Structures are given as C-alpha cells and as structure tokens.
Amino acid sequence: MVVHSLFTKSIRDMRKSKVQFISIFIMAVLSVTIVTGLDSMWKTIGEQTDIMYAASEISDMWVNISNPSEKELWSISRTKGVELAEKRFVINALTGLEGRPTLKIYTISRSSRLDRPIIQQGGLKSRGGAIIDSSFAKEHGLKINDTIELKVNGRWTGFKIEGLAMSSEHIYSVKGTTTIIPDPQKYGFIIISEDMLKSIYGQKIYNQVCIKLSAGADAAAVEAEIDKVLGDNLIGIVKRGEDSSTNNVWSNISQFRTLAAIFPLMFFIVTALITQSTMLRLVENQRGQIGILKALGYTKGRILWHYTSYGMYMGLLGAIVGLLLGPNLFGRVLIPWLKLTLADDRILVNYTNFIFSLILILICTGGISLYACLRLLRDSPSMLLRDKPPKEGKHIFLEALPKLWNRMRFSRKLIARNTLRNKLRMAMSIIGITGCTGLVVAALTLTVMVNGIAGHAYETTYKYDQKILLDEKVDSRFIRNIRLDGTVTQIAETAAAVISPDGSRTMKMLSVFPQDSPLIRLTDMDGNLVRLAEDGITITRKLAETLKVKAGDSIQIKRTDGSYVYAPIRQIIYMATGQGIFMTDEYYESMGETFKPTAILVKWNNKPDRAFLQSDNVDEYVDRVSQMKDVKASTRVVYIAAVLLIFMGGILAFVVLYNSSMLNFSERIRDLTTLKVLGFYQKEIRSLVLTENILSVISGSILGVPVGKVIADIIARGLDDQMDLVSRISFQTVAVSGAITLVFALIINGIAARKMKNIDMLESLKSVE
C-alpha cells in the first residue's frame, strides 16, 4: 500500500511537469536510438559479411598473373605461409542484354574450395551452364534455364543459367573505373566451368591465383616471396580488404563504429543536463513534502528511491523505445542505401552496447535524480518543513567592469545575473544548440560534398562527350589513322602493382594520357589547373594519404616485364572520385613501356560516329552526361542521411530550448508578475526570459560549426575508398545552418511566449510559494 501510494504520487508529479518528463524521455529515446541504430548497422554488416566470407571460404589474397606455368603455380602453393592456392580465370565480359551490362566471369572447377558462390537456387550442373548473380538476374528478369549471351574471347557464346547465387567478392559490387556505386542493372558476376572456358579459348587458361594463408602467416612475406617467384608474370597482388567489395564493407563497418562511439555522447550529456535541471527543481519544490515524508517516518532510502525512480522510469522507458526504434530506423532505412548484397535482411542488434547505453542512460536520469535529492536530504525534517529561504542575489564578475556594467540596462543586468546563476541550464542549452547546429552543418556539408563529386569529376575534370572503351586489338596508331571527327584523347587505364616507401604493396589505378589533353583538366586542392609532369608521376591526394607519400617521394611501379622502376611523385592533385596515379604517355614510354590505349575520350565536332561506335573496335561506350547522372542518382543516400541529421538536430534544439525557457519561466514567475504589475509590457517580459535562449543559440551556433565539420568528416571518410571528400565549411553552409537553427529557436520561443502570456497577476502575487 505504501509503495502504491508513493507510486501514485510520482505519476501525478510527473503529470504536473509533463513537458519536462517528456523531454527527458525523448532525449533518452534519442540517445539510445542512435547508439542501437548505429551499432545495428555495423553489427549487421559485420556479422552478415562474416557469415558470407566463411560460407564462401573467401581468399586472403588474389594474385593476378599472366599465363602462369604449372611450375609457377606449384611454387606458389609451396610458399611458406600459403595453406591453399587455387587458380582461376577472371574477366569482365559484355552481355547481349539490353543496355549492354557487364558481367565478371569467374571460372570454377569441381575441386574448387576457395571463393565459392553462395548458392541460393540450383547449381552448376552441366559443362555449358552458369551460376549467375542473383541481384543481376532479378534486375534483368532472368530465371533458371534462361540463356545468357556473353562476349568471350571475341565471340558471343550462350550460357544456360542453372543457378542463382551471391558472392562474397560482390557484396559491394562495382566494376571499377566507370562506376562508383553498385548497380545490378549494369554489373554483376557469372560463374562458369573451367572446362567450358577451355573450349572457348582452345586451351586451359588462368589469370588469377586465389590464396588462403595458413594461420599466423605473414602476408607481406608471402607477397614478397610470390613476387620473387613469379617475376615478370606477376601483374599484382590484391589482398583481402583492398578489393572494392571487402574494402567498402570494412570502411562501412569502421565508419559506423566510430560514429556509434562519439556521436551519441552529445545526446547523453544533454539528457543528463535536462534531468538535472528538471529534478533539481522538482525536488526543491517538494522540500515540504520531503519534510512531511521524513516526519511521517519514511526511511531515507525510501525517499531517495522515490525521487530516483522518476528518472529511472523515464530512462528505462526511453531505452526500451530506443531499442525498438534504433535498429529499425537506422538499420531498415539506411542499410539498403549502402547497396550491399547481404545474405538476408535480418538486422542484428548489438546487445552489449545496448546494455552499456542503458546503464549510461540510467546514470544520466536516475543517477542525476538521486544526486539532486541527496543534497536536500541532508536537512532535518523541521528545516525542510519551513519555507525555502529566498534565493540570494549574487554579484557577478561583470560588475567588476563598472564601465560596461553601469551602461547596461536593468533588464540586461537582470538577464546577466540570472544566466550566470543557472550555469548548468545555460550549459544544457548551449550544448543542445551546438549539437543542433553541428548536425545541420554536417548534413549540409555532406550534401554539398557529395553533390560536388559528380560536378568535379564530370564537369571540372573531364570535358569529353563520350568515353569509349576499346577492344584489345586496337592500338594507338589505329586510332590516329581512323581520324574521328572530333577531339580525341587516347588514354590507357590499367591496374599496376606499386610499392610505397614503407614497403607495402598494393594494386593501384594507373592512367596514362598525353600531357596537353584538352579533355582532361586536372586541378590541385585549391582548384588551380595542373599540367602532368614530364619527368615523374602525379597522384591524387587520397592515394597519397593511403600510400603515406608526399610530393618529392618516389614509389615503385611494376613494369610489364616484372621489374620495378622508381617513379618520383612530382605533384598531388585532387580528384573527387577515382583515385590513382597519372602520367604522360611520354613518361610511360620512358619507363620502358609501350603506350596502348584502353579507351579514348572524344568530344565530337558533330554527331557521334555511329559506325565506329557499333564496330567491333569498341567494347563499350558511355556518355559523360549519363556518367554524371549515374553518380548523382547513386549518391542520393546522402539526402536521407541529411534529413535524418537535421531532424535529430531539430529535436535536440526543441527539447533543450523549450525546457530551459519553461524552467526559466516557472522559476521566475514571481519576478515576472511583479514586473508585469509594475507596468512592463508583455514583449519586455518575454525578452527577459527568452534573451537567455538567444544567447545560447548564438554561442551554440558558433560552437556547432567545428562540431559539424568533424561529424561530416567522419561520415565522408567512410563513404568510399575511391571518393575523396574534403569538407569545406562554406559561408553559405554556416549561414543556412545558422538560419535553420534560428528558425527552430524562433518556433520554440513562439510556443514558450504563448505559454507565458497567461501569467495570472493576481494569483501569483498573493503569497510566497
């Protein structure tokens, strides 16, 4: 019965300060939603991909090789640290489907154990059959027993679809240079039998060795050894984590881990501050009641629990709602935007961190309530039953500056003293507004950055109409001789093995083209035009960061003959997307190589040359405009993220400002009534209360800008390995974020002002509360 009546009391008390308790609840929900939401993202991606990696027995490294001999393969498998080595053939092939999408062909043999497809339906049954990418199949309406035409070794061959599968190498499925975001309409994979390939080429053919390392093996040593063994037959080694799929997965995981670790902090602090100010006031208003309870003989512990429970209920309730909301809101809404092909659509929850955030939120709510109550409980019941001594006025530091102080109006002095008396509340408002502005700045910066990618790549850098990928048989002289009607730049794009000064080996994109191509305008970080150096290479900023090099350093690049040459880095350029190494055709030849274009960039004088485009000299062609459109379409995820960020910012601003103005108002209602009676106008009284909000909005908005930059940077860094997003806080961004924050603040001030309008002069003057 006793517990029951106290419980009833707490429910009624909470109902009386509805708004404050709803605020605590909302903040608790928000904090836990963000933690569990972000956690569920990396947890889901991490676990799902781990399952896929394990199911397919993904390799630790892939060795790209040209025409390996049996002896070489044998030596690879005998290298110390290699547990298993398997050979296969991998090549991109055009399909006969509409829009000429590309499929990456992988061969498989009966004995293959590494990089197995994760079969969803059917399986490879006959020699001429194929297992096809299930996302690709779905997008193109392909079913088992359909036939798909592929152009392999220069001829069109039909394959019967016998199975649908996913691949752990195609979780994030991008072709490479022309696209940056997966699009199953344009790209996928297909798995065919080794024997079928043999009959297409007339001989057994391989170009890749998949390697599984034995436990505890030193990958770098294995790489060096393989490099030595294969010599000029080695094209390059790609380690797991470096290929586009595993790399993207990994960076997504680490991005959301970082965000989950730092992002919610702000929300927890605000929750604690709101609870603190609410409970402190509630407990102080209930001095008398605490005295009565004590006088009635309630134990200290019971009274403490009674008040602590206020915060506990809110924290617990908020955490549960957050647990329900977070994974659904973030996981279900955002994960599909990451364009990962995952085994299923389960969203996993990181319960460890949920428990951790639950404890944290209970400290922020219950713990803070306990603290507020403990301070009062020290007094004896008789002291508590007496009226609260009036709050003392205090001189503040501003008065030490008589010049400034004496010139201030009294209402200003009043505001200054009040604000400084409630430092914690001011801190709450400022942190809240800092958070709000930070989130809005991050959202806008991110949008600007990502929107800038397409423009920088396909408007600033590239000026061609079409990029035409050439057939293997086409060489430089052939292009010159056919005299296309337009400006033509020949470009060779290949993956090359490089060794950075610290000895690490990677495969990087190498782009070779003439120095003065009018169709490619490279720029540095500040947007100044950069000409390719004649006596060295030019690399992109993000690549320089990955390789840990700077202008003036040299890296080793592997030549076709297998030997490495040192190439000095002459300059660093900025590319929003497509990181790599750039050099002139002349420098390339001076390295002892032959310049053979893989593609041409063309700006047509008149209409595109249809005959040429349709000829078998051309593998594929793409319009710059449509490339740009694709990038823009594929980066739309950022808008969802931006809306989410702004939404959270709005809630944050709303909760803290509404709370602080209501607390401010109810604490000072007597003063305000006096002022009203003295003849202060409504707007003068309003300004007394709301100026504090304006002050916190201004300081919070300023502090929020760097916070926003940090958030934007973390999100941008994790977006994609190929994208180099540099957050530049522009004046517009700051202005717009300031304006948005201000709009939030004005709305709240409006609502608070309306509440304030109905001060009952007669009632509140009557007696001391």
Partner 1 sequence: MDFIRFENVEREYHVGGHVIKAVDGISFGIRKGTVNVVLGQSGAGKTTVLNLIGGMDSPTKGRIIVDGQEISSMSEYELTTFRRNKIGFVFQFYNLVPNLTVLENVQLAKEICSDPLDSKEMLIKVGLEHRLDNFPSQISGGEQQRVSIARALAKNPQIVLCDEPTGALDSVTGRKVLRLICDAAYSMGKTVIIVTHNAMIAHMADTVIHMKDGKIAGIEYNDEQMDAEAIVW
In angstroms, what is the minimal distance from the CB of 421 to partner 1?
7
Q: Smaller CB distance to partner 1: residue 191 or 688?
A: 688
Q: Smaller CB distance to partner 1: residue 200 or 414?
A: 414
Q: Smaller CB distance to partner 1: residue 215 or 768?
A: 768
In angstroms, what is the minimal distance from the CB of 18 to partner 1?
22
Q: Smaller CB distance to partner 1: residue 294 or 676?
A: 676
Q: Of the candidates 62, 48, 503, which has an alpha carbon nearest to the alpha carbon of residue 243? A: 62
In angstroms, what is the minimal distance from the CB of 395 to partner 1?
8
In angstroms, what is the minimal distance from the CB of 767 to partner 1?
7
d(Cα 111, Cα 90) in Å, to the nearest integer? 17
Q: Smaller CB distance to partner 1: residue 216 or 679?
A: 679
Residues that bind partner 1 (CB under 8 A): 389-394, 409-411, 413-414, 417-418, 421, 670-671, 673-682, 684, 761-762, 765, 767-768
Nearby residues of 568 by Cβ (< 8 Å), 6 or more positions away: 535, 536, 537, 552, 553, 554
d(Cα 264, Cα 257) in Å, to the nearest integer? 12
Q: Which amino acid is at 197?
A: L
φ, ψ at 537 (rounded to 5°):
-110, 165
Which residues, in sequence order, are bridge partners of residue 602? 466, 488
Report helix, strand or coil for 102.
strand
* Four-residue CA torsion sign, 325, 328, 329, 331: positive
In angstroms, what is the minimal distance from the CB of 688 to partner 1?
10
* Four-residue CA torsion sign, 539, 545, 551, 552: negative
* SS3 readout for 296-329: HCCCHHHHHHHHHHHHHHHHHHHHHHHHHHHHHH
In angstroms, what is the minimal distance from the CB of 679 to partner 1?
3
Q: Smaller CB distance to partner 1: residue 337 or 405?
A: 405
Q: Smaller CB distance to partner 1: residue 399 or 623?
A: 399
Question: In this structure, are strands 618-623 and 564-573 parallel, antiparallel, or unpaired?
Answer: unpaired
Q: Smaller CB distance to partner 1: residue 116 or 421?
A: 421
In angstroms, what is the minimal distance from the CB of 677 to partner 1?
6
Cα dihedral value 646, 651, 657, 659, nearest 10: -170
Residues in the chain: 769
Checking phi first, is residue 562 left (phi over 0); if not, alpha (psi -120 to 50) or beta? left
Cα dihedral value 273, 276, 277, 283, nearest 10: 170
Q: Smaller CB distance to partner 1: residue 647 or 681?
A: 681
Per the listing, tokens 């170009």 go with: 207
In angstroms, what is the minimal distance from the CB of 411 to partner 1?
7
In angstroms, what is the minimal distance from the CB of 403 to partner 1?
17
In angstroms, what is the minimal distance from the CB of 280 to partner 1?
18
Q: Smaller CB distance to partner 1: residue 54 or 761?
A: 761
Question: Measuring CA to CA, how many Å separate 94 from each of 148, 158, 161, 182, 190?
Answer: 11, 12, 16, 17, 11
